[in-house]
Amino acid sequence: MRIFPFKRKEIFSETEKNRLVQAIRVAERLTSGEIRLFVESHCTYVDPMDRAREAFASLEMGKTKLRNGVLVYVAIKDRQFAILGDQGIHDKVGDDFWIKEAGLLIDHFQDNRIIEGIEACIAEIGASLRTWFPHEAGTDVNELPDDIVFGK
């Protein structure tokens, strides 16, 4: 029995969750790269990149075979985000790519198009992963789950 009879409000509707999971699956379809989405209401860190690093480590994203995992972190109510790519993908795309993706999110978020912004960012990350880490037929496995991780 819970002390408070009300249920915590979900960050995304079921439809929105399904859209984002589908975006991840489509983005990963032709690459060995991995994309995870970590969403929470508030970021308890001054710098959201610190929270993204913590989430990246706790999700064991640095253990992919080619070090090609990417975490998209979003704190909805604080209007903060971070995009963190592992060493393998970062070495290929460099800082300019991450800055471009951050700009894409900012443009969408300023128009209150959160879901569309996350979808667009995931699609562009997927395209980059396909370029640098194409799908390896017969040996490629989905190393990390495609579901959305919800924090506090």
Give CA–CA dist 142/34, Å, rounded. 7
pTM tops 0.75: yes
Whether residue 13 lies inside any domain: the answer is no
Whether residue 129 lies inside any domain: the answer is yes
One-letter amino acid identity for 77? Answer: K
**pLDDT of 139:** 79
Count up the domains in the chain and report the number. Answer: 1
**pLDDT of 113:** 96
Q: How far is CA 87 from CA 33, 93, 105, 118, in A?
A: 12, 10, 22, 22
Contact in structure between 19 and 131 (CB atoms under 8 Å): no
**pLDDT of 6:** 56
Whether residue 9 lies inside any domain: the answer is no
Q: What would the pLDDT profile of 126-140 be if each residue is shown by its tens digit?
A: 999 999 999 988 778
Where on the phi/psi map is residue 67: left (φ > 0), alpha (ψ -120 to 50), or beta? left
In which domain, by residue range, is 127 found? 18-134+143-150
Whether residue 10 lies inside any domain: the answer is no
**pLDDT of 15:** 97
CATH number, domain at 96?
3.10.310.50
Residues of the chain with pLDDT under 70: 1-8
